[in-house]
Amino acid sequence: MVKQVRISDSTINYEVVHRNIKYPRLEFKTGKLLLVLPEDYKDHNDIIEKHKDWIYKRNSEITAAVEKAQKKRLNYKRTDEEFKQSVHSIVENISDDLKINAGSIYFKSMKSKWGSCSPKRNLTINKLLKYLPDNLIEYVIFHEMVHLIERKHNKRFWNFISNKFHDYKNQEKELLEYWFLIQKVVDEP
């Protein structure tokens, strides 16, 4: 059931789901606010109140990204095979630079992220990444491969990222913009 919260000048829709988890969390992965709560968690309003500044800030970032996405264009020229070859080449170069080895590389459609890195050192790359500019493809792969060194998004992780991508915050914003552009295209019949 969709609920609403009014924060400052914004009305934000959200959903509440209960799962077998220990701690509550907020997710804004796909542009929609989701409160994921433990099975026995009763009143979610305290979570909303505690994190309303974060919710407002994230909602504003998403609204701006959706607006900027309208000015972006996707690359429809790259074939699946060209994309896979490019990814393998980028992984090889990053492996040499960072002196690390990834496991297997998988390609699949993902609903909430551009890529992932498993504990078994395998990379999964979102097939939709093929429509993005080369620099963003390289950034996503580098980001995932740094997880082979540091699993969490902590200071050490972002230090690795910023050594190669000094403007990584801009890369992250641009990825968010492309995310909403891609979703619009994927959702069209």
Instruction: Give the tokens for residue 149.
Output: 């060194």
Compute CA distances 170 → 93, 102, 157, 185, whole Å.
23, 26, 17, 23
pLDDT: is 122 or 187 the higher one?
Answer: 122
Q: 125 Cβ partners below 8 Å, 6+ apart? A: 87, 105, 106, 107, 108, 114, 115, 140, 141, 144
The whole-number pLDDT of residue 183 equals 81
User: Residue 150 — very low, low, confident or very high, per pLDDT cuts 50/70/90?
Assistant: very high
Beta carbons of 59 and 76 less than 8 angstroms apart: no
- Domains recognised in the chain with CATH numbers: 2-69 (no CATH), 80-187 (3.30.2010.10)
69-78, 163-172, 179-188: least confidently modelled range: 179-188
pTM (two decimals)? 0.85
The chain-wide mean pLDDT, for the chain, equals 92
Mean pLDDT of 117-121: 95
* pLDDT digit string, tens, across residues 60-97: 999 999 999 999 999 999 999 999 999 999 999 999 99
Nearest one of 140, 145, 131, 135 to 182, comparing CA atoms: 131
Q: Is 80 exposed, middle or buried (0-12, 13-18, 19+ CB in 10 A)?
A: exposed
* Res. 29: pLDDT tops 80: no
Compute CA distances 89 → 94, 110, 141, whole Å.
9, 22, 11
The whole-number pLDDT of residue 189 equals 43
